[in-house]
Chain A
Amino acid sequence: MAERTFEIWRGDRSGGEFKEYTEEVDEGMVVLDMLHRIQARQANDLSIRWNCKAGKCGSCSMEINGMPRLACMTRMNQLPAEGKIKVQPMKTFPLIKDLVTDVSWNYRQNERIRPFKPPAPDSDGKYRFQQADADRVQEFRKCIECFLCQNTCHVLRDHRKQEHFVGPRFMIRVASLEMHPLDTDDRIPDLKNEFGSGWCNITRCCTEVCPESINITDNGIIPMKERVVDRYYDPVARILRAITGGGKKLPTA
């Protein structure tokens, strides 16, 4: 089969450049296979982060011809048949080396989310809830933490609002707790005050790049934003709550 030429970003925090590598492509290969072939034959020290090679661990996130993708799930024959293939690290996160970035900021966001808080189980020690209630949450729990959505979110990528907004990954992580049939905690104040739900303006770029096809924006972020609005900005609901004393907490803003 044909040879293809890759332009791969080589460098670290002190700088770098795109370097060209040409290798033979076999039938059925994905971009990660080609990077490994280049690593084994031409560039032993090429840094790539990867693990499962089956789209299940979310390690090999990078930008291929400008698109945020998993290298293990991008077939060579999906790419244009002509021209060089440009591979570079995710732009939003600090570079470590070559195609590997420092994604530790994401792990710090996760630690800010308060743990799951279930009620006591039924008398036989078991919990009961219906599959329909599991479905909503299971969609979000498919997330493999590849952070491609975080990389794509313009609030983080272009406006660098990491101090203000946790990003789509952690919006749906909170949604997976807020909609969890057993969670008893009130997640709404944190969404508004700590996690910056207002920063998202629903451009749906995150949903587009999700390799797990999670409907991040429509099923996760929008319902969360609506709950924040209902709690803090809906005047009728505020009056009703004031009269009935309902709601988990009175608005503070």
Chain B
Amino acid sequence: MAIDVKELKTIEHDVLVVGAGGAGLRAAIECSAQGLNTGVVTKSLLGKAHTVMAEGGMAAALGNVDRRDNWKIHFRDTMRGGKFLNNWRMAELHAKQAPDRVNELERWGAVFDRTPDGLINQRNFGGHRYPRLAHVGDRTGLELIRTLQDHGIHQGFSVYAEFCALDLLLDDGRVAGLVGYFRETGEFVVFKTKAVIFATGGGGKCWRVTSNSWEYTGDGFGLALRAGAELQDMEFTQFHPTGMVWPLSVRGILVTEGVRGEGGILLNNKGERFMFNYIPERFKSETADTEEEANRWLAGDKNARRPPELLTRDVVARAILAEVKAGRGSPKGGAFLDIASRRSAEDIKRKLPSMYHQFKVLAELDITQEPMQVGPTLHYFMGGIRVDADSQMSSLPGLFACGECSAGLHGANRLGGNSLSDLIVFGRLAGLGAAEYIKGLEKTPAPSDEQIEAIVKEATAPLHRETGPNPFQVHDELQEIMGEHVGIVREGPSLEEGIQKLEGLREKVAAVKAHPSAQFNAGWNEALDLRNLLLTGLAVAKAAKMREESRGAHTRLDFEGEREEWGKANVVVRLGEDGGVEVRRVERPDPPEELSKIAYATLEELEGGNG
């Protein structure tokens, strides 16, 4: 079929933001503020992005609840949670700027829960030394996205909803725009732009048990790789310890860490509070080792240490898995999460209303009366597009990335609550970075017609095939492979087998057939998403195979514990000449001395500053 590029709808902007979750909207707001003609494309309707699923809160050292908190302790917690593989500068920027970004949300209309003094309230969360998460019950993500949405619609940027990005356009090694299509009509659109900001989220849909929605197909990773940009830290995929395990059809849906933050405890089928048996050496001095002390902490005793249920997510997820493997799991194959015996029904409904509702409706269970059953669920990508810490620009000039699709801030493991603050801190910085980059451009890049034609041709191919595999079934196969070979615990030979199986899927992905109608055709959309899912899966599997140690969210049965030499390196991913996924080890620069001192300081040396 011949494609006349001149006939395609073409839209020009200075910058196009791909994704309208927290990061994308914050980036777009900044771009508009910098005077850029800005467009935003989103796969779903405005205000529906994955950010709405975030429950617990956004971390910022406001010091409203405990005045001992400050940016240095937030920075230290983030580095320790990330097992020191974080980008030092990003962790610093994040900890320093998060309070301003949270206060800014309040100026834009957000209504956070309050302290008795009337300030923004902050709750405890795993890995955070002090109550640090600004929150709204257990629907903080909704508050964030709605605030940005209702503020954003008055800032002058254009929104293109239910639009899927296919591939980037280049001119002489620089970003020149992007081609995609509207889901509603199947109409292709060529965006000609000077810069593109990716805020595309993660790739949880590579796994069957995930808290992620259909949108999370690794689009940003796939598009970035194909355009020549690099990814980093892809082996670090976070399994949230508490997803629903029953009923099967909702397996994986998130149960907020806020349940534990509000005092919830994990029990095995013998009724034992097993987390006391899984406290890592590094956290021993800061974690309660008796139930008595943990209870005092919950009652507000500032001298008591934190309960072990609030250890970092990687630790808790592995502990639940170990209990289940040892035959001490709950009837449906998870652990019991009990808040009913810890808090009054009234408190639970007030602090965790959407959890109450979710279990009542989906599992026919009253969490104020009975314990929940929970187990690990793929939740988040620490890795992603490799970016410069200050500008958020990738290794491809003109391509910026922020939020979950970028790498660096979280290192080997993300702390709960650091994602929402990541979105608003680095969304803004990506907007500033793009504005700065565009200012320095000597000429507007222009994509060639050949590139556009090739993208459209490849995208329409599944519609024209007489026969071919069902894209939904191919996706299912991919999830099967990832679940079996690239799960929460990994081993070299199994990873290798998984990689071979994924490579074997390439041909199928290239041959899938879709019903020949481009209008809101889920089968066709799925067929196109598969390309990105496969690249994402391969990037994770190959990076996981290369990193021969266990660190944070990456656990190798054949290489237990952290290895010093791997603490000094990141795994970087790119596409080779032949289109194959290539991984390489890249040495990390030494940390700035000042930051290193903070990260390794004792709490006493850092406390205060907000008083």
Contacts and interface: CB of A to CB of B under 8 A. Distances in A.
Given A28-B250, A128-B118, A55 B113 contact: no
A118 B357 contact: no
Given A54-B358, A58-B48, A180-B111, A28 B248 contact: yes
Contact of A54 (B117, B146, B153, B253): B253
B89 interface: no
Interface string B413-450: 00000000000000000000000000000000000000
Interface in A59-112: 59, 73, 75, 96-98, 100, 102-104, 107, 110-111
Contacts of B250: 28, 30, 53-54
A131 B288 CA distance: 31
B107 A121 contact: yes
Contact of B103 (A125, A130, A183): A125
Interface in A138-183: 138, 141-142, 144-145, 177, 180-183
Contacts of A142: 139, 142, 353
B47 interface: yes
B247 A27 contact: yes
B151 interface: yes
Contacts of B521: 44-45, 47
A130 B246 contact: no
Main secondary structure of the interface of B (DSSP, over half): loop
Given A28-B246, A56-B142, A128-B119, A134 B111 contact: yes
A57 interface: yes
A135 B121 CA distance: 13
A93 to B, nearest CB: 12
Contacts of A53: 213, 250, 253
A126 B117 CA distance: 11
A56 B361 CA distance: 13
B111 A138 contact: yes
A116 B108 contact: yes
A39 interface: yes
Interface in B235-284: 246-250, 253-254
A33 interface: yes
B46 A107 contact: yes
Q: Which of B214, B472, B522 has the largest number of chain A CB atoms within 10 A?
A: B522
B354 A30 contact: no
A18 interface: no
A46 interface: yes
B214 A50 contact: yes
B142 A144 contact: yes
A56 B214 CA distance: 14
A176 to B, nearest CB: 8
Given A48-B522, A52-B213, A116 B248 contact: no
B249 A44 contact: no
B41 to A, nearest CB: 15
Contact of B249 (A26, A98, A104): A26
Contacts of A33: 249
What range describes how many residues of B lie at the interface? 35 or more
B537 to A, nearest CB: 19
Given A57-B48, A59-B44, A111 B153 contact: yes
A195 B514 CA distance: 44
B186 to A, nearest CB: 11
B517 A44 contact: no
A115 B154 contact: yes
A131 B353 CA distance: 16
A129 B358 contact: no
A233 interface: no
Given A51-B214, A54-B358, A129-B118, A45 B522 contact: yes
A165 B86 CA distance: 52
B611 to A, nearest CB: 12
A138 B139 CA distance: 10
A249 to B, nearest CB: 22
A54 B254 contact: yes
B514 A44 contact: yes
B348 to A, nearest CB: 16
Interface string B109-130: 1011110011111000000000
B560 interface: no
Contacts of B254: 54
B150 interface: yes
Interface string A170-211: 000000010011110000000000000000000000000000
A97 to B, nearest CB: 5
A100 B520 contact: yes
A144 B143 CA distance: 10
A183 B117 CA distance: 20
B290 interface: no
B157 to A, nearest CB: 12
A29 interface: yes
Interface of B: 44-50, 52-53, 103, 106-109, 111-114, 117-121, 136-137, 139, 141-143, 146, 150-151, 153-154, 161, 184, 213-215, 246-250, 253-254, 353-354, 357-358, 361-364, 470-473, 514-515, 517, 519-524, 526
Query: 10 closest pairs, A vs B, by CB?
Result: A28-B247, A44-B523, A128-B118, A116-B109, A45-B515, A47-B520, A40-B472, A131-B114, A33-B249, A57-B48
11 contacts: A26-B249, A45-B517, A47-B519, A53-B253, A56-B142, A59-B44, A73-B362, A97-B520, A125-B103, A142-B353, A145-B48
Given A28-B250, A44-B514, 10 more contacts: A28-B246, A28-B247, A30-B249, A45-B523, A51-B44, A55-B357, A59-B45, A96-B519, A107-B45, A177-B109
